[in-house]
Structures are given as structure tokens and as C-alpha cells.
A and B are shown apart, each in its own frame.
Chain A
Amino acid sequence: MLLRTLTSLLSSGARVDTGDGFWLPPQASTYSQGIDWVFYFIYWICVFFFVLIVALMILFVWKYRRTSVTHQAGETVTHHTPLELTWTIIPLILVIAIFWIGLDGYVDMIRPPANAYEVNVVAQRWNWSFEHRNGAQDSQILKVPAGRPVKLVMTSQDVLHALFIPAFRAKQDVVPGRYTTLWFEAKEPGLYQLFCAEYCGTQHSQMGATVAVYPPDEFDEIIAKDARWLDNYTDENLYQAGLRIFARCSSCHSLQEEVRLTGPSFWDVHDDFGKKRLMEGDYEADIDENYIQDSILNPQKDIVATYQGVMPTFQGALKPREVRAMVEFLKRLDEVVDRQGNPIE
């Protein structure tokens, strides 16, 4: 729902293209064409050998079937070194060729052009955070310009993840404690699917995002606006900004009253606001602004009873004003969404 409203930023009617034919997705990055060429080169070699092997197999089974228990095998040699060397050397030459072609295509993929547009990517179970140089930040949508090389500098806050954009043929593990990089150049504006490809636990299959490729001039405008998006809110309506920040919490929290994921529904904290609540470890805590702020910045301090303390800290990840927006948002949740999580206009 949220994703759909975000992507409607793009020209209406955009669909994710799944590509023609049985095999690959559409060729949406500059190097995908070369890769697909290698793919089909190997593919046809495989088809040739497969058909050869199976055809010979069927032919022999038919032609030399055992017709009776006294039927004898024909006289042939038991080995024939030149013949055997032939089917050693021909495959050898072929695989050396394939190796070279593959290496050639790969070198393009690991050398980002010097002028690439950089985006920092932080993976955290089960969410992506895409951070642009000018401060603009998104989580379920990676915005990039068409026709300009883009370099992702990635790290993980917890376990291994992998960023995978099938239409770009791009994939790279995202490792805690180090930086890995990935580059691509999208050819055309459009929408593409992004996946997490390295198993990371419960919601691995939901750790996706959309890649939105904009025309270059439009992109600059949008990113500049994104960086200032909070400025559009005054202190009075800051609470409304929370709905957008919520995208970073939605893998564990819901806005539906009855839906509890890894963490409590946000209605729980909203409804208990101003009251006391029993915490893990048998003590009571006051549910107030400080409690919410601590929950976001120092989540290990109070653990809600029956839940596990797996919430990551957002210290540094959210700016102070964003944290304030979130506190206000939770306090005034009933003014932003209904109990099914639908935005109130």
C-alpha cells in the first residue's frame, strides 16, 4: 500500500517488466546485454551437447536392444586413446573459451566508472536503507537516474544479506563489518524489482524493494526535494511525517490493531500512552514521550513483555527531527490512520 503510493511518483501505468521468453528478465542495465550474450552462448553449447548425448543414448538403446538372452554384444575395441583424447580436448577448448568470455564480461561488472553516482546502502533485518549524499533517504524504494552509472556502497548492521536486481543482472553480498560495492547503469526509466538474495532469517522473502529509474533531470529534482522533505512540515503537523518514516519500521511493526509481527502493533503503544505497562523482567514503565524515544534510540533498555529484544537501535540512522516526528506520530496515531492502518485523508 505504502509502496504503491510512493511509486505513483513515477509516470502512471508503470509496470515491472518480467521479460520475454523462458529465460532471463529484461535487459535494463548497460552490461546486461553482454551477460545475456554469454548466457545464450553457453546455452546453445549445452543444448548441442545435451541433444547429442540423449540422441546417441536413445539410438543405441533402440538399435542395440537385447533381443534374447543369447543375444551377444558386437565386437568392438575396449578402448581407443585417440577417440578418448578427442572428447577430452574438444570440451577442454570449449571451456577455456567460455572462461575467457565470462571473465571479459565480468570485468565490466566489477569496475565502476569513476564518475558514478554513489548511494550508501545499509541492510538491516529485513529492511534496506538507501542513503543519498545530499541526505535524502528511502527504504522501500531505490531511486536512481537513467543513463548515469550508479555505485552502491553497502554494509550490513546484523547478518549477511545480498542485494539483487534481476533486471540489471547485478548481485552482491552485503556483509556486516565491511563495505562491498556494486555498480550498474540503468538504460531506461522504469520500475524494477530488488531482492535480498542471501538468507537472513524470518522475513528474508519480504526484504525486497523497488528500483525506480528516473529521467536524469527529473531525478536531480526529486532527490533534492527528498532531502528537504521534513522541512515541508511545521512543528504542528510534524506527526504526519511519521507515516513515511514508518516504512523503516514496517517489517516488525504494523499499523493494524490486530496484527503483531516481530514487534508490537503501534496501536499498542498508542493506546497505552500515559499509562503504565509491565516490562520483561517484571517491572512497570511509564509509557510517555521518553519511553518512545528510548524505544527507538536505545531499544534494549525496556523490552516489552512477551517480545524478544531484537529491535535495532536507530541512533544515527534517524535524525533528531525524524525521531521527534515518530514520537508525535505514535502519540497521535489515531489522527493519521484508522485501526486497519489505512491513511485518513
Chain B
Amino acid sequence: MTTLESTPPTPAATNYLTHTRGFLSWAFTLDHKRIGVMYLVSVLSSFLVGGIFALLVRTELIAPGETIMGQDAYNKAFTLHGAIMVFLVIIPSVPAALGNFVLPIMLGAKDVAFPRLNLFSYYLWVFGAFFLVAAIFQGGLDTGWTFYAPYSTEDARSGVILATTGVFILGFSSIFTGLNFIVTIHRLRPPGMTWFRMPLFLWSIYATALIQVLATPVLGITLLLLIVERVMKVGIFDPALGGDPVLYQHFFWFYSHPAVYIMILPGMGIISELISVHSHKHIFGYKFIAFSSVAIAIFGFLVWGHHMFTSGQSGLMNAVFSAITFSVSIPSAIKVFNWLATMYKGSISLNTPMLYALSFLFIFSIGGLTGIFHGTLATTIHLHDTYFVVAHFHYVMMGSALIAMIGGLHHWWPKMTGRMYSETLGRIGCIIVFVGFNVTFFTQFMLGSKGMPRRYHDYAGETWSPELTELFHTYHFISTLGSYLMAAGFFLTAGYLLHSLVKGRKAPSNPWGGRSLEWQCTSPPPHDNFSSAPTVGDCYDYSVLEWDDAEGGYRWREDVPHPV
């Protein structure tokens, strides 16, 4: 530990937040919990910035014609919205922020396997984010988050090099985090915790880490090639120099499709925990859920071509990619039905985290099912690059991955901060976000199937037929109102969470009745997580817990012996 002033810790009195003090004790901390919190703060700040760009985009589209910004400004706004949300928010949100905090505690470990590498990952993230932000100020980034060539290799796109360098660095941050988690899960499981006794969240993080380590290097190589082409004028992707633009798409999606699972898998892991804990019932079909995570990770590598159905690749390739794409839907279906079966005959408390889990089930069902339209060749041609896709991936990436992350945040908030938030405001916030989300994005399914292409600054003009302008206007208007509602929900959430830090009731060790190891240490956990090695049993067996009125949380039943 690098500390400035270290107070001799008395185990009961200090926790990881009060263990040492001062700015440097955070900046140089090797404590996974503090690193997790730093990630969390960074990710949520980025979420605010990305969200502001989203609102700008939606506001521009509220009416036909130029509303608040011109074409170029709009193109930059949607590019930054996408790049920030994908690379700075969703990808690191669960693994790096929540995962860092929860993973070692769930394992009963003192820290991750490589604490220094962990801190290094965080600073790489900051460094990469800095490049991305610099691209904003340089003002030339309007390629969309996909950086498609040859548009992105033109000289006029001055921000591209900065931004891709940033993404390249962020990629390394992601690889190191993944590597760290893989080793941690292999090496630091406590005695008694076999693979099939791990909480399902860890299975999902493990599957995610595999993708991070195996797929992200390809993104790095792609962006490096892009930079080489830009700087040295070597023809790789630009046909003017003898390159092939479709090659870029293969490279890019070889990473970015698996990246979709980097985003959603940890979310699914959270949902497995939330549904089981808040239903106070053993998870149903543990092995099917665990293996389905691994299956998704593996299949995820084989389906990248479904982003390129109209790119000009051969019909045969399209058929093959379409077929493999459907394979991903099976493990997702398994998970959904197993979650439902978990709720069956449970004792379901509608706490805020559970409300988020239910929102996830609703939204993910729509997001997953509408994926079928995109996997099916006959229908995908019409829907490709329209708002139907925009709606679909927002249902999956925002409505599912991010909602799961926020659900997880509420679930572990008492553990992380030692404070309870207002349950009433929590529920109201969740409902507002849920309604706002669906109003915003469900309308976009209609927009898209009627033919509205994505990444459009406007839906009126000389080449537009007025009948379409009129039709699209209605939908865009509703969608924008929905986005304002959603924003209100998020601000409310931010408000009561921050308020709880100061005024919140002190959190008990186990407010929800969770059985995995993190609920056995105090809230917030001490610096070393556990004073003595914790005992491991079936982490979904809740019959050993009982409510303790004095503490306002759950405790181990006295008549049940601890496992040995």
C-alpha cells in the first residue's frame, strides 16, 4: 500500500474509505475497491457527457429542418455520443467499475491477482479518455463511432487519429482488466468454492474477460492500420490507394461484435444475482445459465459478418453468417426462461434493484426478439441502417446492459458507500427511466421499419417527399419527448444517490438478504475485505438467513451452523 499518513487500523472502526486519507492515497491506491470507485465516478461522468450529446441529437430531430444545429455539428454530436457511450461508458461500466469492486470480495479474496496492473488499467483508461476528449476539441470527428473507411481516412477528418489512438489505448485498459480477472478467478478462489459454486456474476465476468483478452487486440490492430494508412498513405482500406473498404468492416466488426457481448454479458450476470437475491429464492438452472454465458462468448466470435449483409459480400457469406447469428439467440432464451423460473414460487420484494431487473427482462426481451429480424436475411436488408437497428441496439446496449448496470449499482450501493438511498425515490426513478426509455426507442422501431435511415440530420428537404417528412415528424417528436423524460429520471436518480452519501441511513452488512460473500463483510468493507477467511457454501441458498430487526438487514440464522 502506498499511503501518505497511515493510521493504525482497528478492524472494526475503519473501512476501505476511511482506511487512509488524502488525494494521493486514492491516486496511488492498489485497493481494488477504491479503483472500482474511481472507475465508477469516471464512467458515470462520461455517461453524463454522452447523455448530453444524446439529448442534443434528439433535440435536433424534434422537428424537421435545422432546429438547434447544422449538419456538421449534428454529425459530430452523434459520433461523440456513440464513441463515448460505447468506449467510455458501457464497455468499462460493469467489468471495470462494479466488477472491480465486487469480484474479489465475492471470491473472498483480499484483492485481484495483480493490483498494480489494475491501477495501470485505470490510468490507461484515463489516458485514452483524454485522447477522445482532445478529439472533441480538435473538432474533426464526424465519422460515427465505427470509423468506416475510406471516409475516416480522408485528410479532412483531423480528429480521427486522436480518437482512434484514444480507443487503441482504451482497448489496452480493457485487455489488462480482462487478464487480471481471468487470473484472479483461476487462482484466488477460496477453498470450497469450486467453479460451480461461483456466483453467476463471476461466470459472466469470466466469459466477458475471455472476449476482452481475445477480441480487443484485433481492434487495436485495425485502428493501428487505419493510422498507418492515414499517416503513411499505405493503401489498406482506401480504394484510392489500392485498399479495400470492406476489409475494414471485417476487421472492425471482428472486434465490435464480440464487444456487444462484452457489454451485455456482465449485465446478464448482474441480473442473475438480482433476481435470485430479491426473490429470496435459489437460482434456477445454475449450470445452464453459466454455460450459456460461455456459449454466448464463443458464438459471439463467429457472427461479425451480420453487420455487413448489404456491404457487397457474397450471398453465400451472408447465408453462413445469418445461420450462425441465430445460434446466439438460444443461450439468451435459456437465460430469460431460467430467470423466470427463479421467480416462480419465490418471495419477491420489489426493491429498486429488483425493479431494474424486471425492467431489464421486459426490455431485453424486446431487444433480443427484434434481433431476429436482423438475423433473418429477407428482412434485414430492408431494416439495415435504419432506425429499426438504432432502436434494437439501444434496447440491448442501453435498455439492457446499462439498466442492468444501474440495477447493480443500486444493489451494491449500500455495500460500496455504507449508506441506504431512499427506496421510494429509487422506485420512482426506475419507473420514470423505464417509461422514458420505451417511449424514446419503441417509436424508433416504427420509424425504421417505415424506412427512416439512421445518422440523418434531417428528414425534410428538397429530395424528401413531404408525405414522409410528415410521418417521420410525429415519431421523432414522441421519441424526443421520451428522451427528456428519461433524462429527468436519471437526474432524479443521481440526486437521491448523492443525497444518500450525506444523509442516507447507515447500511447493514446484508440489506437484501444476499448469500454471496460480499454480504458477509461489513458495509462498507474493511480495507482487507475479510478479517478471517470466509466460509463458502451454496451462494444461492437463502434458507440460512433471517431478518434482524435491530440491524435492519439479514443475518445468519443462529440455529444453522456455518459451513466448514
Task: Check if A and B associate.
Answer: yes
Residues of A within 8 A of B (CB): 1-3, 15-19, 22-25, 34-35, 38-39, 42, 45-46, 49-50, 53-54, 56-57, 60-61, 64-67, 69-80, 83-84, 87-88, 91-92, 95-96, 98-99, 101-107, 109-110, 140, 158-160, 162, 164, 166-167, 169-173, 175-178, 180, 191, 193, 195-210, 250, 308, 310
> How far is it, in angstroms, between the C-alpha of A79 and the C-alpha of B458 when the chains are bound?
52
Query: How many residue pairs, one in A and one in B, have C-beta atoms under 8 Å apart?
Result: 295
> How far is it, in angstroms, between the C-alpha of A18 and the C-alpha of B459 when the chains are bound?
14
Q: Contacts A16-B467, A73-B346 given; indicate if A1 touches B450 (C-beta within 8 A).
A: no
- Given the complex, which residues of A lie within 8 Å of B561, measured CB to CB? none
- Given the complex, which residues of B lie within 8 Å of A167, measured CB to CB? 451
**Interface status of B183 (Cβ within 8 A of chain A):** no
Q: Contacts A91-B333, A95-B372, A173-B312 given; indicate if A204 touches B348 (C-beta within 8 A).
A: no
- Given the complex, which residues of B lie within 8 Å of A57, measured CB to CB? 340, 343, 358, 361-362
Q: Tell whether, in the assembled complex, residue B156 and residue A308 are in contact, meaning their CB atoms are under 8 Å apart.
A: yes
Q: Contacts A73-B542, A197-B453, A201-B142 given; indicate if A104 touches B311 (C-beta within 8 A).
A: no
Q: Tell whether, in the assembled complex, residue B75 and residue A3 are in contact, meaning their CB atoms are under 8 Å apart.
A: no
**Interface status of B528 (Cβ within 8 A of chain A):** no
> How far is it, in angstroms, between the C-alpha of A195 and the C-alpha of B455 when the chains are bound?
12
- Can you list 22 A-B pairs with a CB-CB distance of less than 8 A? A2-B462, A16-B467, A23-B450, A25-B451, A53-B365, A57-B358, A73-B542, A74-B346, A78-B282, A79-B287, A98-B376, A102-B378, A106-B381, A158-B150, A160-B148, A160-B245, A166-B382, A176-B245, A177-B244, A197-B453, A198-B148, A250-B462
Q: Tell whether, in the assembled complex, residue A38 and residue B378 are in contact, meaning their CB atoms are under 8 Å apart.
A: yes
Residue of B151, B279, B373, B386 near A201 (CB, 8 A) is: B151
> How far is it, in angstroms, between the C-alpha of A171 and the C-alpha of B454 when the chains are bound?
14
**Interface status of B272 (Cβ within 8 A of chain A):** no
Q: Tell whether, in the assembled complex, residue B245 and residue A171 are in contact, meaning their CB atoms are under 8 Å apart.
A: no
Q: Contacts A64-B345, A79-B286, A177-B245 given; indicate if A110 touches B372 (C-beta within 8 A).
A: no
Extra contacts besides A53-B336, A88-B330, A173-B311 (14): CB < 8 Å:
A38-B376, A54-B365, A64-B343, A72-B347, A74-B281, A88-B333, A91-B333, A99-B322, A103-B322, A104-B378, A159-B150, A159-B151, A195-B453, A310-B156
> How far is it, in angstroms, between the C-alpha of A83 and the C-alpha of B347 when the chains are bound?
22
Chain B, interface size category, equals: 35 or more
Residue of A38, A53, A79, A160 near B361 (CB, 8 A) is: A53
> How far is it, in angstroms, between the C-alpha of A106 and the C-alpha of B377 when the chains are bound?
6
Q: Tell whether, in the assembled complex, residue A79 and residue B285 are in contact, meaning their CB atoms are under 8 Å apart.
A: yes
- Given the complex, which residues of B lie within 8 Å of A76, measured CB to CB? 281-282, 284, 344-345
Residue of A38, A69, A206 near B458 (CB, 8 A) is: A206
State the Cβ distance, A147 to closest chain B Cβ, in Å: 22
> How far is it, in angstroms, between the C-alpha of A34 and the C-alpha of B333 when the chains are bound?
27
Residues of B within 8 A of A (CB): 71-72, 75, 142-144, 148, 150-151, 154, 156, 239-240, 244-246, 279-288, 310-312, 315, 318-319, 322-323, 326, 329-330, 333-334, 336-338, 340-341, 343-350, 358, 361-362, 365-366, 369-370, 372-373, 375-382, 384-386, 446, 449-451, 453-459, 461-465, 467-468, 471, 540, 542-543, 546-547
- Given the complex, which residues of A lie within 8 Å of B338, measured CB to CB? 84
Q: Tell whether, in the assembled complex, residue B322 and residue A164 are in contact, meaning their CB atoms are under 8 Å apart.
A: no
> How far is it, in angstroms, between the C-alpha of A164 and the C-alpha of B287 when the chains are bound?
45
State the Cβ distance, B398 to closest chain A Cβ, in Å: 19
Interface of chain A: mostly helix, strand, loop or mixed: mixed
Residue of B285, B361, B446, B465 near A193 (CB, 8 A) is: B465
Residue of B143, B312, B326, B385 near A99 (CB, 8 A) is: B326
Q: Tell whether, in the assembled complex, residue B449 and residue A42 are in contact, meaning their CB atoms are under 8 Å apart.
A: no
Q: Which residue of B lies closest to A16 (CB)?
A: B465
- Given the complex, which residues of A lie within 8 Å of B346, measured CB to CB? 60, 64, 73-74
Q: Tell whether, in the assembled complex, residue B463 and residue A209 are in contact, meaning their CB atoms are under 8 Å apart.
A: yes
- Given the complex, which residues of A lie within 8 Å of B449, measured CB to CB? 22-24, 39
State the Cβ distance, A256 to closest chain B Cβ, in Å: 13
> How far is it, in angstroms, between the C-alpha of A110 and the C-alpha of B314 when the chains are bound?
9
> How far is it, in angstroms, between the C-alpha of A323 and the C-alpha of B407 when the chains are bound?
64
State the Cβ distance, A67 to closest chain B Cβ, in Å: 8
Q: Tell whether, in the assembled complex, residue A49 and residue B315 are in contact, meaning their CB atoms are under 8 Å apart.
A: no
> How far is it, in angstroms, between the C-alpha of A96 and the C-alpha of B381 when the chains are bound?
19
Q: Tell whether, in the assembled complex, residue B384 and residue A49 are in contact, meaning their CB atoms are under 8 Å apart.
A: no
> How far is it, in angstroms, between the C-alpha of A270 and the C-alpha of B542 when the chains are bound?
84
Q: Tell whether, in the assembled complex, residue B239 and residue A177 are in contact, meaning their CB atoms are under 8 Å apart.
A: yes
- Given the complex, which residues of A lie within 8 Å of B455, measured CB to CB? 199, 204-205
- Given the complex, which residues of A lie within 8 Å of B546, measured CB to CB? 70
Q: Tell whether, in the assembled complex, residue A106 and residue B315 are in contact, meaning their CB atoms are under 8 Å apart.
A: yes
Q: Tell whether, in the assembled complex, residue A61 and residue B376 are in contact, meaning their CB atoms are under 8 Å apart.
A: no
Q: Contacts A140-B463, A201-B75 given; indicate if A195 touches B451 (C-beta within 8 A).
A: yes
> How far is it, in angstroms, between the C-alpha of A21 and the C-alpha of B323 when the chains are bound?
30
Q: Tell whether, in the assembled complex, residue A50 and residue B151 are in contact, meaning their CB atoms are under 8 Å apart.
A: no
Q: Tell whether, in the assembled complex, residue A56 and residue B283 are in contact, meaning their CB atoms are under 8 Å apart.
A: no
Q: Tell whether, in the assembled complex, residue B156 and residue A88 are in contact, meaning their CB atoms are under 8 Å apart.
A: no
Closest 5 CB pairs of A and B: A177-B239, A166-B451, A105-B378, A102-B376, A74-B345
State the Cβ distance, B387 to closest chain A Cβ, in Å: 11
